[in-house]
Amino acid sequence: MEMTDQIEATAREIGDRVRPQIEDAKRRLTSLNDKAIDYIKENPGTCLVGAVALGFLIGKIARRV
């Protein structure tokens, strides 16, 4: 019984410690995603040409391997 309480307390402590970090990571990822979407929307030509070029390179590399 005492052991279970101790494990529960430890789990809660770990959860409390990790939760802010997870929230922070989530916020950062959301911000990065928004930035990427905005960049693609503002520069569609550059992004599409860049993506085609990158795909071309990957295709060439895949062909050689």
Which spans of this chain sit near other proteins (rule: CB under 8 A)? 36-37, 40-41, 44, 47-49, 51-63, 65
In the bound complex, what is the minimum distance in angstroms from residue 26's beta carbon to other proteins?
19
By beta-carbon proximity to other proteins, the closer residue of 7 and 54 is 54
By beta-carbon proximity to other proteins, the closer residue of 9 and 56 is 56
By beta-carbon proximity to other proteins, the closer residue of 7 and 58 is 58
Cα–Cα separations (whole angstroms), residue 41 to 3, 44, 46, 48: 55, 6, 10, 11
Q: At what angle do helices 2-42 and 44-64 cross, to 10 degrees?
A: 110
Work out the number of other CB atoms within 10 angstroms of the CB of residue 49.
11
